[in-house]
Every structure is written in C-alpha cells, then in structure tokens.
C-alpha cells in the first residue's frame, strides 16, 4: 500500500480495500497555466496598461526629476510606506483632456492624472497592521507640473472620504502648481464646486494630517498643505498661495518661483513646522511624527536623570537652555521639535516618556528672558489644540517672567494673542502636568500652567523655582516706591532696593510656595521623570471626545 493511500476499516468478515487520496492541489500555477494566462487577451491588456503607470515607463521624466535632486512621487510613497503594503487607488486615471489629446498620449504622459493615491502601512513593525494604516496621496510633479486636475480631484475626494469614515491618518505630498486650466472634458466653468478642500479640512482634529513639500507648492496645492496639522518642508522648497503666473496676472510684478515663499521665510513665520534638508529626511520626519499618534512603544532608552540637576545654574541671573531639560525628561532620541523658527519664546515638541507619547511645552529664557510674546503665545495655544484633539498628554516646563509688555508689543495685538493660551488651555481634556524650573511669575506663568497653578494634574517645582505675582524687581519698584524715594539717592537707595529684592526672593522661594499649597511639591530634578511617569499612569483622560478643531495657525 502506498504511503498516501487511506485504509478503510471494516467489520469482521468483510473485505478490506484501499482508497487512493484525491489529487493534491498544486501550490502554484504550472508553466502551461502561466502560458495560458499570458495568452488571455483581457488579462494581458490590463497588465500592459498598468505598466504605463510605473516610473519605468517614463525614463526621461524620471531623469529630469532626478537631475533636480528630487524624487518621483512613487519613490516617496515607496519610502514612506512599509514594503509591499501600499494599495493604489485610481491608477488608471488620465487627465480629463480627451477632446484635445489622443488616448495614447494621455496614457503615456498623464499617468494616474498626476497623483498617486492609496492606502499603506506606516511604522507597521512598531504598531501592527491595524494602527499603522494611513491614506497616502502624492502629487506627481512630472505630470503636468503636479497640477490639480479634475480626475485627481475625484481621486482625492474618494481617499479623503475613506480616511474620514475609517479614521485613517493622511499624508499628503503637496508639491505642484495648483489648479489646471487645461482639462476640457468636464462641463464646468470655474470648477469652484469641487469638494476637495472642504473634505481635507473636515479631517482637522479627527485624524492626524501631515503635509510634505519639496520643490514648488503654489495655489490649490498650498491651500491643502496649509490645512495640514504639520508641514514638513525641504530647504529648497517654495510655498505660496499664488505662483509666478498668478502673481503676474494680478498685476503684482514679475517674480521667479524661488522668490515666492522660500523656506527660510516660511520657517521663520511659522508656516513650516519641520524644516529638513531633502525628501529622504522629510519622509523620515513624517514617519516619526505620525508615530506619536499611533500609540506607545515597548522599547525605550532612559536619559541620564541626574543630569537634570545641572540644567539650571545656581546663579539665578545666568541664562540657560531649557531644551536640556526637555532632553533629560524624554526618552533618548524621541524629541521632535516643531516650529523651531517661529515663536522662539516657547519650545514645542513631541516626545515619549517610557514609550508613551506626550507633548512638551518649555519656556525659552534665551529669548526675551522667557517672556511670552504674541508669536510664542500663538505657537503654544495651537500646540495645546493639537495635543488635545489627538489625545496626547501635555507637560509644560516653566521659566517665564510673564507676558511681554510695553507700547511696541501692544502694537502687535498682544492682548488678543496671549489670551489664546488661556482659552486653548480651558478646552484641554488631556492630562496636563507642569514643572517650574526657575521663574514662575504673573499671568505668563499661569498661561504656561493651563490657566492657573491648580489647573494641571500636578504642578511641582525644582529647588531653583521662584515665584511672584510679577517680576521681583518690578514688584519692589512699585510696592516700595515711597520707601525708595525717601532713601538718599546712591548707595543708600541701592542697598535698600537690593535688600527688598532679596526679601521678595526669599518669600517667593519654591519651598514657601509648597508650604502654602500653591504648588504641590518641590522635587529633586532627577525625580522629574519619575513624577511624570506616575502622573501619566494615574491620569486616564484621553482628549477631546470626537476630536476638536486645531487652528491652522
């Protein structure tokens, strides 16, 4: 009996027979079957048609792209998505120009109507298949300059609907020249009824939305980019609401593309959140940014906690860099700073603490002594909205003499801008923790602590903390004006002033604040991370239910 035969057991006295097993299913098509598939006209037609979509079908266009030091849309998508995970939607679309161009021309020169769209996995090795899926859309600058055609609007709307329905993050490679006037197949006059911009904006606060740009990004492409939660751009990028043709057409002068919205301008004014050297770094930054909204990770490296004891100088008049405190609190290598060129009075960053993603705010005493101006307030308020909408707990590191004051600053609508921090904080539903590193003065310190010292889930201070309703020197000058004026000018008045300031400093020391329960504790800086870990474990709130609006600004 062969090894593969089945033995049929019978009752006593009955005959025994062997039954051969059914033939095994082949693991793969045989050569003959493969040849038959090759000869099927319908299958061969679709295989041949798809070949025109790939970069390999357009070597000259790809070469021109590479000569500029840039990658193709498909190269960027392949780098962003985990290998083999991208499923493309709408690959067979062509420009809506059949009335003026041949089908062969459209197929060869307008593949996918200049936009690659689909769903892929990003960071799947960390978060698994369910949490890593994302909608990816990339304008193809090698096709009609990456302009927005009617077909790629339809593709975009389809993908945005899927993203909203399934709560999928969106990554947009936005390079391109805006609306395309050459599409003639659609019976429209102005095309202002398209739903793309409303659909993209509707994702705000519901899912993370990432915009990436290299090269030129103008008009409609820039409008979508500006609706993104974060804008990652290369140094060679240009971003503007109108390109050279639109500017000239409006009678505003003749400019080269490189003169409109260069990266140094857009980074300095806050349009660009993360400035990188090239598309390789842009994609890496996008993967890192998205990871904070995909969840916690199990593996992390702790920083040197003891190094925090040396961050703030013993001399209270010496300046220092609070980014050292941020690095000493976050998992090693996990910090991603946002808007580093704008609002320099406050640092904002995404980070992890024992693998859990958090948002970090930190006063910057290297700029205006840590005083909060309009730009810093706008930056901080918007960052609060971002963290709140997507459920990231927040940690604020405080060292500020208060809001910036004076006639010049009031010309910049300081009252309205800085008040945004109070309003944004009042809507924060995520855990919020505050650590005072040194100065905690006035309304500015209250704004950094979610509106007041008892608003955070905890507020602690390092031993270097000093507090007051306003700056100590100003408090003495105002509160003791009569006494100072009564003292003889010169050494006597100076000595009295120094004595009064020292008394105010002693009264406002961190230990006195803790003794009167205005703050929760004074801690060893080396214990800061441990406090935050315990705080994160005990505060379970997850952010705004159903999402909340995040200002574009």
Give dist(CA 345, CA 363) in Å, integer: 6
Q: What 3-state DSSP class applies to 295?
A: coil
Q: Chain-centre distance of CA 34, in angstroms?
A: 47
H-helix or E-strand containing 17? Answer: strand 17-19
Q: Could you tell me the end-to-end alpha-carbon distance of the chain, in angstroms, rounded to an integer?
A: 80
Alpha-carbon dihedral angle through residues 120, 125, 127, 132, given to the nearest 10 degrees: 0
Determine the pLDDT at residue 27.
Answer: 53
CA atoms within 13 A on the CB side of 75: 15
Say if 62 falls within a structural domain. Answer: no
Mean pLDDT by groups of 10 residues along the chain of 553 residues: 42 44 51 59 87 91 96 97 96 83 84 93 95 97 87 92 97 90 72 85 96 95 96 97 87 92 97 98 98 96 97 94 98 98 98 97 97 97 96 97 94 96 96 97 97 97 93 80 87 88 86 96 98 91 73 90
Say if 12 falls within a structural domain. Answer: no
Are residues 243 and 191 part of one domain?
A: yes
Question: CB–CB of 195/154 below 8 Å?
Answer: no
Tell me the two tokens of residue 427: 């809507």
Say if 107 falls within a structural domain. Answer: yes
Determine the pLDDT at residue 37.
Answer: 54
Last residue of a domain, one of 244, 262, 292: 292
Are residues 122 and 93 part of one domain?
A: yes
Question: CB–CB of 53/110 below 8 Å?
Answer: no
Say if 543 falls within a structural domain. Answer: no
Give dist(CA 517, CA 315) in Å, integer: 26
What helix, strand, coil percent values describe the chain, rounded to 5?
A: 40, 20, 40
Are residues 516 and 504 part of one domain?
A: no
Backbone angles phi, psi at 398, to 5 degrees: -110, 125
Cβ-based neighbours of 334, under 8 Å, separated by 6 or more: 300, 351, 352
Say if 258 falls within a structural domain. Answer: yes
Determine the pLDDT at residue 494.
Answer: 87
Say if 376 falls within a structural domain. Answer: yes
Are residues 439 and 389 part of one domain?
A: yes
**Closest of 464, 473, 477 to residue 401, by C-alpha:** 473
Are residues 359 and 279 part of one domain?
A: no
Are residues 212 and 225 part of one domain?
A: yes
Are residues 386 and 285 part of one domain?
A: no
**Closest of 424, 373, 367, 362 to residue 402, by C-alpha:** 373
Give dist(CA 97, CA 28) in Å, integer: 42
* CATH code where residue 453 lies: 3.90.226.10
Say if 49 falls within a structural domain. Answer: no
Alpha-carbon torsion (408, 413, 419, 420), positive or negative: negative
Structural domain boundaries enclosing 346 = 305-465+509-538
Are residues 256 and 175 part of one domain?
A: yes
Tell me the two tokens of residue 527: 């214990």
Beta pairing, strands 133-139 & 274-276: unpaired
Q: What 3-state DSSP class applies to 319?
A: coil
Are residues 222 and 210 part of one domain?
A: yes
Alpha-carbon torsion (364, 369, 372, 376), positive or negative: negative
Cβ-based neighbours of 160, under 8 Å, separated by 6 or more: 135, 170, 196, 199, 200, 202, 203
Are residues 353 and 288 part of one domain?
A: no
Q: Tell me how many domains the chain contains.
A: 3
Are residues 496 and 533 part of one domain?
A: no
Are residues 515 and 501 part of one domain?
A: no
Give dist(CA 431, CA 541) in Å, integer: 6
Distances (CA, A) of 372 to 32, 227, 267, 447, 488: 75, 26, 19, 9, 36
Give dist(CA 336, CA 414) in Å, integer: 28
| DSSP assigned state of 20 | P
Q: What 3-state DSSP class applies to 439?
A: strand
Say if 546 falls within a structural domain. Answer: no
| pTM across the whole model | 0.88
Question: CB–CB of 236/69 below 8 Å?
Answer: yes
Determine the pLDDT at residue 13.
Answer: 44
Buried b (16+ CB within 10 A) or exposed e, 173-208: bbbbbbbbeebeeeeeeeeeebebeebbbebbbbbb
Residue reference for tokens 């939305």: 209
Buried b (16+ CB within 10 A) or exposed e, 42-75: eeeeeeeeeebbebeebeebbeebeeeebbbbbb
Numbers of helices and strands, H then E, in the chain: 22, 19
Last residue of a domain, one of 292, 320, 355: 292
Last residue of a domain, one of 240, 260, 292: 292
| Residue 92: burial class (beta carbons within 10 Å; 0-12, 13-18, 19+) | middle
Give dist(CA 304, CA 414) in Å, integer: 39
H-helix or E-strand containing 501? Answer: helix 491-507
Tell me the two tokens of residue 159: 């993908």
Distances (CA, A) of 179 to 134, 145, 196, 217, 304: 25, 10, 12, 11, 52
């Amino acid at each position: 009996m062969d090894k593969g035969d089945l033995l049929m057991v019978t009752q006593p006295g009955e005959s025994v027979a062997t039954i051969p097993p059914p033939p095994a299913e082949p693991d793969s098509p045989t050569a003959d079957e493969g040849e038959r598939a090759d000869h099927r006209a319908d299958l061969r037609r679709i295989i041949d048609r798809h070949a025109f979509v790939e970069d390999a079908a357009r070597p000259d266009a790809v070469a021109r792209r590479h000569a500029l030091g840039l990658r193709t849309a498909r190269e960027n998508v392949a780098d962003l998505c985990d290998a083999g995970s991208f499923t493309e939607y709408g690959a067979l679309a062509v420009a809506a120009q059949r009335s003026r161009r041949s089908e062969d021309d459209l197929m060869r020169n307008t593949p996918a109507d200049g936009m690659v769209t689909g769903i892929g996995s990003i960071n799947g090795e960390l978060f698994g298949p369910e949490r890593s899926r994302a909608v990816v859309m990339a304008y193809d600058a090698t096709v009609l300059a990456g302009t927005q055609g009617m077909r790629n609007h339809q593709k975009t709307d389809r993908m945005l609907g899927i993203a909203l329905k399934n709560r999928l993050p969106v990554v947009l490679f936005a390079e391109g020249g805006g609306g395309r006037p050459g599409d003639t197949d659609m019976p429209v006059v102005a095309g202002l009824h398209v739903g793309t911009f409303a659909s993209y904006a509707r994702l705000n606060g519901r899912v993370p939305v990432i915009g990436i740009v290299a090269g030129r990004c103008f008009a409609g492409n820039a409008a979508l980019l500006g609706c993104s939660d974060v804008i990652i751009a290369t140094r060679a990028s240009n971003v503007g609401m109108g390109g050279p043709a639109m500017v000239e057409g409006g009678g505003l002068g003749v400019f080269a593309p490189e003169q409109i919205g260069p990266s140094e301008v857009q980074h300095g004014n806050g349009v660009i959140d993360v400035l990188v050297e090239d598309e390789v770094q842009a994609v890496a930054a996008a993967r890192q940014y998205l990871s904070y909204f995909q969840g916690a990770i199990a593996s992390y490296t702790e920083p040197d906690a003891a190094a925090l004891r040396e961050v703030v100088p013993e001399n209270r008049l010496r300046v220092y860099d609070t980014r050292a405190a941020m690095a000493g609190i976050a998992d090693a290598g996990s910090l991603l700073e946002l808007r580093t060129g704008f609002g320099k009075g406050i640092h904002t960053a995404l980070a992890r603490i024992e693998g859990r993603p958090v948002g970090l705010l930190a006063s910057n005493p290297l700029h205006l002594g840590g005083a909060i101006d309009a730009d810093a307030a706008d930056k901080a308020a918007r960052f609060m909205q971002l963290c709140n909408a997507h459920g990231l707990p927040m940690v604020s590191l405080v060292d500020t003499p208060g809001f910036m004051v004076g006639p010049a600053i009031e010309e910049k609508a300081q009252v309205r801008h800085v008040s945004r921090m109070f309003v944004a904080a009042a809507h924060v539903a995520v855990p919020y923790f505050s650590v005072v590193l040194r100065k905690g003065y006035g309304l500015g310190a209250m704004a950094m602590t979610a509106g007041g010292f008892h608003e955070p889930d905890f507020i602690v201070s390092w031993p270097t903390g000093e507090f007051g309703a306003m700056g100590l020197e100003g408090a003495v000058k105002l509160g003791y004006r009569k006494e100072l004026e009564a003292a003889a000018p010169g050494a006597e008045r100076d000595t009295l002033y120094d004595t009064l300031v020292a008394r105010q400093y002693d009264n406002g020391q961190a230990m006195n604040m803790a003794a009167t329960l205005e703050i929760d504790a004074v801690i060893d800086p080396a214990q800061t991370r441990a406090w935050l870990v315990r705080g994160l474990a005990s505060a379970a709130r997850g952010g705004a239910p159903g999402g909340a609006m995040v200002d574009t600004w």
